[in-house]
């Protein structure tokens, strides 16, 4: 039996929701699993075609979690999600490994269990939760407990202009520049706007999205790590976007609009101004991870 696992890319933080908000978008990685006599991995660089591959590591970790022994498989990776650009590429590998292990062993896994296992592997749920659940997810983990995830439906009329520079921002560098303490004033600023932004994305309220997505905790510091941040933001806002945020730790930037023609116009304008960049118009993915028997 062959099993195909499809996992969406994710945008974490959504500007104002540092380490708690994440959204699945319509850019995908596909992973095909087959039982085999020995481990083989194709579709990725040669240095990752071994037992240290994150997909296989997650596959084995899930089996260990269920008290089962790992077994050799053939894995083929067909990924359209760039690595180390802030679109959850590592989370797609983690989620694929878990769901591949479940599918090949006939185990039925619900969203809560899948998020819990993936969070143990990743260390945080902000990317894996939307990759599994789809749509927009706010996640937190109570002390000593499993992750809690609140899922929001995103208004279908919203489009996300996704700008991917040809350089990466390392997560460790992005975390170093973020202050470890914030003022009470900034904490209150964030709390109100997280509520406003999630509601705005649910309803498609353009004014609310534009007003709420103004971060004070991480983007003012991380933007310095992305040389083209200011110019891309200027083009997007002057061109009719409601707002723009850094996706994950970067370097990807994501602008929001409720007009499909504006989205396509911005894509063309940015591609013209930055020919080395990849630019997509994406929607929110409402489904999350998919499993298909081949």
**The pLDDT of residue 133:** 97
Residue 105 — very low, low, confident or very high, per pLDDT cuts 50/70/90? very high
CATH class of 2-152+285-293: alpha beta
H helices present in 134-292, as ranges: 171-176, 184-203, 206-212, 219-222, 229-238, 260-273
Predicted local distance difference test score (pLDDT) of residue 173: 86
The rounded distance, in Å, linking the Cα atoms of 138 and 13 is: 9
Q: Report the 10 Å Cβ neighbour count for 63.
A: 20
Residue 292, classed as helix, strand or coil, is strand
pLDDT of residue 237: 96
Indicate whether 273 pLDDT > 80.
Answer: yes
8-state DSSP, 46: G
Q: Of the ranges 23-32, 36-45, 154-163, 168-177, which one carries the lowest mean pLDDT score?
A: 168-177
What is the rounded distance in angstroms from the CA atom of residue 292 to the CA atom of residue 87?
A: 23
Q: How many residues does the chain have?
A: 294
Average the pLDDT over each of 46-55, 124-133, 168-177, 241-250 and give the range with the smallest value: 168-177
Nearest to 87 by CA among 208, 245, 234: 245
The helix or strand, by DSSP H or E, that contains position 97, with its residue range, turns out to be helix 89-105
Chain segment 141-152, per-residue pLDDT in tens: 888 788 899 999
Spatial distance between the Cα atoms of 271 and 191, rounded to a whole number of angstroms: 35
Return the higher-pLDDT residue of 122 and 9. 9
> pLDDT-based confidence at 80, cuts 50/70/90?
very high
Q: Which CATH architecture has domain 159-282?
A: 2-Layer Sandwich (3.30)
Q: What percent of the chain has pLDDT over 90?
A: 87
pLDDT of residue 161: 98
Supply φ then ψ for residue 120, to 5 degrees. Answer: -60, -35
Note the pLDDT of residue 290.
Answer: 97
pLDDT, residue 278, reads: 96
Average pLDDT over residues 150-166: 97
Residues contributing to the annotated binding site: 82-92
The full set of domain ranges for the chain reads 2-152+285-293, 159-282
Q: Identify which of 110, 146, 99, 101 has the alpha carbon closest to the alpha carbon of residue 125.
A: 146
Average pLDDT value for residue range 229-235 = 97
Four-residue CA torsion sign, 36, 37, 41, 43: negative
Give the whole-angstrom CA distance, residue 260 versus residue 155: 13
> In this structure, are residues 292 and 192 in contact, taking their beta carbons and an 8 Å threshold?
no
Average pLDDT over residues 273-277: 96
Task: Specify the pLDDT at position 147.
Answer: 87
In angstroms, the first-to-last Cα distance of the chain is 7
Place 124 in a pLDDT band, splitting at 50, 70 and 90.
confident
The per-residue pLDDT of the chain, averaged, comes to 94
Question: Residue 234 and residue 292: Cα distance in Å, rounded?
Answer: 42
* Nearest Cα residue to 278 out of 292, 267, 286, 262: 267
In this prediction, residue 143 carries a pLDDT of 81
**How many whole angstroms separate alpha carbon 122 and alpha carbon 117?**
9
Whether residue 292 contacts residue 3, with contact meaning beta carbons closer than 8 Å, is answered with yes
Q: Tell me the pLDDT tens digit for each residue of 240-270.
A: 999 999 999 889 999 999 999 999 999 999 9
- Report the candidate in 240, 237, 235 with the shortest Cα–Cα distance to residue 214: 237
Binding residues for ATP: 82-92
Residue 87: pLDDT band (50, 70, 90) is very high
């Amino acid at each position: 039996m062959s099993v195909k696992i499809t996992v969406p890319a994710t945008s974490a933080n959504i500007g104002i929701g540092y380490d708690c908000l994440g959204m699945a978008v319509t850019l995908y990685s596909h992973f095909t699993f087959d039982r085999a006599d020995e481990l083989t991995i194709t579709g990725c660089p040669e240095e990752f075609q071994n037992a240290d591959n994150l997909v296989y590591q997650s596959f084995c970790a899930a089996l260990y979690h269920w008290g089962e022994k790992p077994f050799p498989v053939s894995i083929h990776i067909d990924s359209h999600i760039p690595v180390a650009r802030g679109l959850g590429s590592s989370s797609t590998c983690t989620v694929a490994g878990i769901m591949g292990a479940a599918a090949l062993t006939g185990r039925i896994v619900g969203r809560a269990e899948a998020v819990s296992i993936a969070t143990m592997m990743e260390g945080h749920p902000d990317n894996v939760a939307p990759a599994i659940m789809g749509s927009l997810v706010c996640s937190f983990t109570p002390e000593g407990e499993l992750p809690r995830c609140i899922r929001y439906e995103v208004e279908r009329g919203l489009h996300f202009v996704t700008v991917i520079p040809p350089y990466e921002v390392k997560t460790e560098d992005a975390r170093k520049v973020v202050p470890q303490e914030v003022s009470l004033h900034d904490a209150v600023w964030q709390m109100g706007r997280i509520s406003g932004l999630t509601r705005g994305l649910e309803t498609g309220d353009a004014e609310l999205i534009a007003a709420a997505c103004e971060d004070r905790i991480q983007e003012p510091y991380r933007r310095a790590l992305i040389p083209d941040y200011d110019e891309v933001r200027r083009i997007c806002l002057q061109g009719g976007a409601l707002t723009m945020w850094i996706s994950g730790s970067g370097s990807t930037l994501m602008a929001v609009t409720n007009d499909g023609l504006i989205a396509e116009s911005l894509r063309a304008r940015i591609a013209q101004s930055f020919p080395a960049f990849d630019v997509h118009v994406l929607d929110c993915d409402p489904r999350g991870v998919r499993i298909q028997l081949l």
